[in-house]
């Protein structure tokens, strides 16, 4: 059955986050899609169709190692380190097309991309009193 749906040896270079799997499995099962979730079915991409919906950007945050935020937007990846310890953490910017190993920060040369990625970070981040990420959100509560 699948040899007729997915062309053998096909390659898809679309960034696909883990959260796209659930809506993909729903579509494969013929279930009604769950609404108000971040994931997008990647079944059209698997089948080689041009109608694959794309995320405008991808956002991650990590609380470990001083806190981190990251955005993937087209060829750009923006990274902020030490977001729960620094007052004004700087954003590092990488051009993944020309620098896939993220070795050359090009933020100074691309202020418009930096500004857009900072806007995406503000838009995507959700404050949680039990898991504050940014220094401005305060420390984790302590048990007494």
Rounded distance, CA 21 to CA 110, Å?
Answer: 33
In total, how many domains does the chain have?
A: 2
Same domain as 70, residue 120: yes
114 found inside a domain:
yes
Write out pLDDT tens, residues 96-132. Answer: 999 999 999 999 999 999 999 999 999 999 998 888 8
Q: Which residue has the tokens 């900072």?
A: 118
Residue 93 has pLDDT above 70, yes or no: yes
Structural domain containing residue 35: 1-5+15-55
Same domain as 100, residue 44: no
pLDDT at 136: 87
Same domain as 33, residue 76: no
Write out pLDDT tens, residues 24-71. Answer: 999 989 999 899 988 999 888 888 887 788 889 999 999 988 899 999
Q: Do 92 and 79 touch, CB atoms closer than 8 A?
A: yes
pLDDT at 52: 80
pLDDT at 48: 82
Token pair of 83 as six digits: 């977001």
Same domain as 123, residue 63: yes
Q: Do 132 and 142 touch, CB atoms closer than 8 A?
A: no
Number of Cα atoms under 13 Å in the Cβ half of residue 9: 0
């Amino acid at each position: 059955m699948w040899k007729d749906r997915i062309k053998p040896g096909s390659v898809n270079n679309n960034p696909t986050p883990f959260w796209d799997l659930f809506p993909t499995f729903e579509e494969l099962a013929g279930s009604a899609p769950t609404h108000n979730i971040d994931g997008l079915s990647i079944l059209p991409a698997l089948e080689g169709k041009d109608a694959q919906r794309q995320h405008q950007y991808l956002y991650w945050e990590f609380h470990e190692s001083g806190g981190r935020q990251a955005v993937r937007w087209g060829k750009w990846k923006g990274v902020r380190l030490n977001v729960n310890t620094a007052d004004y953490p700087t954003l590092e910017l990488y051009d993944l097309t020309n620098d896939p190993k993220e070795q050359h920060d090009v933020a100074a040369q691309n202020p418009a991309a930096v500004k857009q990625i900072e806007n995406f970070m503000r838009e995507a981040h959700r404050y949680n009193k039990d898991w504050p990420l940014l220094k401005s959100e305060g420390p984790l509560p302590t048990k007494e």
